[in-house]
Amino acid sequence: MELLLVKLLYFSTDSVIKNVQLIIHPRNEVERGTNVSLLCQAEVSHRLGSHPNYQYKFYRYNKLLNTDQTSSMDQLYSIPDARVAHSGKYRCDLVIEKQKKESRFKDLTVKGLQTPVLTVDTLKLSEGDDVTAVCTVEGEKGSLTFFFSNGPEEIYRESTDSHRVEQKLALTKGAVNMLCYYSINLDSTIERSNDSNVIKVEIKPNIKVNPSTYVIEGDLITISCSVNMTSQRNSELRINLIHGRTVLSSNMTQTDYRMSAVSIKHSLVLFTQTLINILCFDNSLYMFPLELFSMPVLIINPAEVFEGEHFTISCQINSFASEKIQRDDIKYSIFGDKTLVIKDNRYSGTAGKASNGKYMCIAEAKGIIKESGRVLFEPKVLVSKPEITVDGPVIVNKSFWIRCYSENGSLPIIYSLKRSSITLNKTEVSYLHKEARFLAKISTPSDISSYMCEAENNGQVSVKNSERLHATVIVPVGKPLLTVLPVPGNIEEGSDVTLICGIPKGSPPISFSFYGGSGTAIYNTTVQSNSSLYNLNAVKRNHSGNYYCEANNQADVLIKSDIVTVEVSLAMWKKGLIAVFCMLLVALLVLFIVMRYKAKRGRETYSPPASQAAHLSDL
C-alpha cells in the first residue's frame, strides 16, 4: 500500500526535488570588502520534455533576502563588498509547483571592522568652545552605536543604522584627546572597532602676518603673535614659532619674525607651555603664497618609443605671476640621472641604451628654483630572433607542442606559428619569461622542418623569424612479420629453429617480444635495427604450437604479428626405427600365419590307427 502511494505521488508531478544545498563562495570566512556569492544548487528529477519553473528564496536566519524565478537548477545571490554586518546564518529554499525543500544553514563570517574617521568643524579649538564632531565609517552597515570620548572618558554615544553620526559637543577645560569608535550588534555578540584618529584641544594663540597673508613667492612678510593669559594665571608663557621641524623663533613673546615667502605652503605652529600644569597647546597658520611660477612639468614625447626611434623632452610651466616676471625671465635646465643634458627647455635625441634613465628639469626666476618630478625613460626593446623548440616527444600522426620564445623584447610580443610560409596560429604573450605554445601534428618525419615561428612587438618593422624546426621524430612501428626457419612443415625433432621478427618501419630503439605455445613470452629484447631473431635449439615435439611476435618503440604503440603454426615432426632415425619395427612385426605376423597354415594342413592329411579312431570317437 505504501509503495503504491509513493508511485502515485511521483507521477502526480513533472518534477521531484531530491536535494537543495547552499554553497558560499569564495569561502565561509572572509575579510571585509570581499565579494561574496551564495550559490543555491538543486538536484531535481523531472519528466522528459518538461520545463519546470524554479523559485529560489534566500534567507539570513529566517528573514527573506531575495526571491528569483528561473529555469536553471542553480541560482546565485551576491553580497558585494561584504561587511561584518553580513555575518550570520544563511539558507535557501527551492519551490517547484507545490513542492518545497530547504537547504541547511551555512555560517558566513566577515572579519575586520573599518576604522572610523573623526572630523571637527574647526581643527584648532579654544578651551570651552563647542565643536561639531562627525564620526564616519564609510561602507559599514547594520545597527551601529557610535561613541565619542575624551581619552578614556566617554562624552557621547548614539545608536543608528547610518554610517555617520554628527553631534555638537561642549568641551570643558582640560579635554585634550578627542576620539571616536563604534560597535556593531551581531545577534549574540558585539564587535568593537579600533579607535579613530585623535584631535587635541589647544589654547589658540593669535597670529598676525603683515602686510597680509596674500603674498607671492619671494615677498618679505612679518609674523607676530600673542596669547590671552586670562585663564593662565601664575603661569610662565613661552611661544615658539615652528615651520615643519625647524624652530624659527623661541622668543615670539617679545619680538616679531621676518621671513621670505618662498614655499607653496607654510605651516606656522605656535606652542604655549606653562610651568605649573605642563600643558602644551598649539595653533597653526596656513599661508598659501601665490606662485611666482608653477611647478615645471617634464614631458617625453612620444610616451612609448623603441630603441632607434627619435624622442623629444620638453620642460613646461602652466602659469606665472605676470605682475612680477615675464615668461622669458624663466630659465630652464634638463637633467638625466642628475647629469646636465641641456640648458634649455627642449631636447631631442635617438632612443637607445645610453638614453635610459630618470629625467627631470629645473625652472629658475628671481632666486626661486623649482624642480619637476622625475620621469623614468626606458625605450622599448625590439623583439629578438625567436627560438623554436618542441615540448616532449614528436610522434608521427600524434599532436605535440611547439614552443616559441624570444630572449629579448618589450612586452607584449605576438608570436605566429608558420608552416611552409602559411600562418597557422597566433598568440600574444604579456608576461615576462613566458613562451608561446602551439599544438601541431605531422604525417611524415620530413614535415618537422616545415615549421617555424615569427615574433613581433612593433608591427611589421619588428618582425623576426626563427630557424626551421629541428627535432627527433619518432615513427611508430609497422605491423611485424614473423618468419620461421626452416619453413614450418620441414621441422624435425632435434633440429634448430630460428624465429625472425621484422618490421617495415619504425624509429629505433625497437623492443621485440616473442611468444610461443599457449601465448607465453619466451624472449624479449631491444635493438637498434628493424628486426630481431630468437633461436630454438634441438626442438622437441612439445615445441609445436602457435607462435607470434610483438614490436614497440618510444611511440608506445604495441603491434602484434600474425600467428604462425609450427609443427615439429619425428626425427629420421626414429622414423627408420619405426619402419624396421613395423616390417619386423609384419614378418612375424606372416611367419605365424604360415606356420598356422602348415599345422592345419598336417592335421588334415594324417590318418590315425583304428583303435585310436575308436577311442577318439568314444570321446
Q: What's 186's domain CATH number? A: 2.60.40.1930
* Confidence bin at 7 (pLDDT 50/70/90): very low
Name the nearest CA neighbour of 252 among 275, 225, 228, 281.
Answer: 225
Q: 423 and 515 share a domain?
A: no
Q: 428 and 503 share a domain?
A: no
Residue 514 lies in a domain: yes
Q: 422 and 518 share a domain?
A: no
**What CA–CA distance (Å, rounded) separates 118 from 148?**
9
Residue 605 lies in a domain: no
- Asked if residue 583 lies in contact with residue 550, where contact means CB atoms within 8 angstroms, the answer is no
SS3 string of 490-541?
CEECCCCEEEEEECCCCCCCEEEEEEECCCEEEEEEEECCCEEEEEECCCCH
* Domain endpoint, select from 409, 440, 474: 474
pLDDT of 453 over the 80 cut: yes
Mean pLDDT score across all residues of the chain: 83
pLDDT of 550 over the 80 cut: yes
Q: 450 and 497 share a domain?
A: no
Q: 367 and 393 share a domain?
A: no
In the chain, the number of structural domains is: 6
| Residue whose C-alpha cell is 604525417 | 443
Residue 595 lies in a domain: no
* Domain endpoint, select from 171, 200, 229: 200
Residue 53: the pLDDT is 86
pLDDT of 260 over the 60 cut: yes
**What CA–CA distance (Å, rounded) separates 615 from 48?**
112
Q: 424 and 360 share a domain?
A: no
Residue 304 lies in a domain: yes
Residue 583 lies in a domain: no
Q: 30 and 94 share a domain?
A: yes
* Cβ contacts of 10 within 8 Å, gap of 6 or more: 16
Please give the average per-residue pLDDT across 364-380, as a whole number.
Answer: 91
Q: 194 and 226 share a domain?
A: no
* Confidence bin at 116 (pLDDT 50/70/90): very high
For residues 239 and 519, which has the higher predicted lDDT (pLDDT)? 519
Residue 336: the pLDDT is 93
Percent of the chain residues past pLDDT 70, beyond the cut: 80
Q: 35 and 7 share a domain?
A: yes
Residue 187: the pLDDT is 74
Q: 462 and 400 share a domain?
A: yes
Residue 585 lies in a domain: no
The DSSP line for 227-277 is ---TT-TT----EEEEETTEEEES-TTT--EEEE--SS-EEEEEEEE-TTT
SS3 string of 548-569?
EEEEECCCCCCEECCCEEECEE
Residue 307 lies in a domain: yes
Secondary structure (3-state) at 380: strand
Strand partners, 359: 336, 375
The CATH number linked to 549 is 2.60.40.10
Please give the average per-residue pLDDT across 482-509, as a whole number.
Answer: 90
* Domain endpoint, select from 111, 127, 142: 111
Please give the average per-residue pLDDT across 8-37, as a whole number.
Answer: 81
Percent of the chain residues past pLDDT 90, beyond the cut: 47
Name the nearest CA neighbour of 119 among 199, 15, 61, 39.
Answer: 199
Please give the average per-residue pLDDT across 62-66, as a whole number.
Answer: 90
**What CA–CA distance (Å, rounded) separates 299 from 301?**
6
Residue type, 398: K
Residue 346: the pLDDT is 95
Q: 447 and 461 share a domain?
A: yes
Name the nearest CA neighbour of 287 among 369, 213, 377.
Answer: 213
pLDDT of 418 over the 90 cut: yes
**What CA–CA distance (Å, rounded) separates 101 from 280?**
68
Name the nearest CA neighbour of 161 among 184, 180, 178, 181.
Answer: 184
Residue 124: the pLDDT is 64
Q: 80 and 7 share a domain?
A: yes
CA distances from 25 to 30, 58, 62, 186 (A): 9, 15, 21, 21
Query: Residue 438 belongs to what domain range?
Result: 387-474
**Cis bond before residue 412 (omega within 30° of 0):** yes
- Asked if residue 131 lies in contact with residue 171, where contact means CB atoms within 8 angstroms, the answer is yes
pLDDT of 560 over the 90 cut: yes
- Asked if residue 15 lies in contact with residue 97, where contact means CB atoms within 8 angstroms, the answer is yes
Residue 601 lies in a domain: no
pLDDT of 194 over the 70 cut: yes
Residue 112: the pLDDT is 84
**What CA–CA distance (Å, rounded) separates 440 from 395?**
11
